[in-house]
Amino acid sequence: MYETNEPSTQKNGGMVELNNAAPTENNRRQGVFFLLLSALCFSLMSLFVRLAGDLPTFQKAFFRNVIAAIVAFCLLAKSGNFKMHKGSLPALLARSVVGLIGIVGNFYAIDRMSISDASILNKLAPFFSVAFSGLILKEKASWKDWVLIAVAFLGAVVIIRPTYGIEQSIPALVGVLGGLGAGLAYTFVRYLSQRGERGIFIVFFFSAFSSVAILPLMVLEYQPMTGVQLCFLLLAGVAASGAQLCVTKAYSCAPAKDISVYDYSQVLFTALWGVLFLSPPQIPDFVSYIGYTIIIGAAVVKYMVSRKH
Mean of pLDDT values over 44-54: 93
Question: How do residues 196-205 score in pLDDT, each as one tens digit?
Answer: 888 889 989 9
- Say how far apart CA 148 and CA 297 lie, in whole Å: 9
What is the model's pLDDT at position 143? 77
- Say how far apart CA 236 and CA 52 lie, in whole Å: 9
User: Is residue 19 pLDDT above 70, yes or no?
Assistant: no
What is the model's pLDDT at position 309? 62
What is the model's pLDDT at position 166? 67
Domain positions in the chain are 24-308
- Say how far apart CA 98 and CA 181 lie, in whole Å: 5
Mean of pLDDT values over 95-118: 91
For residue 280, cis peptide bond before it (omega within 30 degrees of 0) = yes
- The residues with which 12 forms a beta bridge, in sequence order, are 15
Average pLDDT, the chain: 83
- Say how far apart CA 109 and CA 67 lie, in whole Å: 21
Mean of pLDDT values over 94-104: 94
Q: What is the dihedral of CA 128, 306, 133, 210, to 10 degrees?
A: 50
Least confident of 180-184, 200-204, 300-304: 300-304
What is the model's pLDDT at position 301? 84
Question: How do residues 184-194 score in pLDDT, each as one tens digit?
Answer: 998 898 889 88
In Å, how far are 126, 179, 228 from 29, measured between CA atoms? 18, 24, 38
User: Is residue 176 pLDDT above 80, yes or no?
Assistant: yes
Express as a percent the part of the chain with pLDDT over 70. Answer: 88
Question: How do residues 254-295 score in pLDDT, each as one tens digit?
Answer: 876 677 778 788 888 898 899 899 888 888 788 888 888 888
- Say how far apart CA 106 and CA 99 lie, in whole Å: 11
What is the model's pLDDT at position 256? 66
Secondary structure of the chain in HEC code, one letter for each residue: CEECCCCCEEEECCEEEECCCCCCHHHHHHHHHHHHHHHHHHHHHHHHHHHCCCCCHHHHHHHHHHHHHHHHHHHHHHHCCCCEECCCHHHHHHHHHHHHHHHHHHHHHHHHCCHHHHHHHHCCHHHHHHHHHHHHCCCCCCHHHHHHHHHHHHHHHHHHCHHHCHHHHHHHHHHHHHHHHHHHHHHHHHHHHHCCCCHHHHHHHHHHHHHHHHHHHHHHHCCCCCHHHHHHHHHHHHHHHHHHHHHHHHHHHCCHHHHHHHHHHHHHHHHHHHHHHCCCCCCCCHHHHHHHHHHHHHHHHHHHHHHHC
pLDDT band at 245 (very low <50, low <70, confident <90, very high): confident
pTM given for the model: 0.78
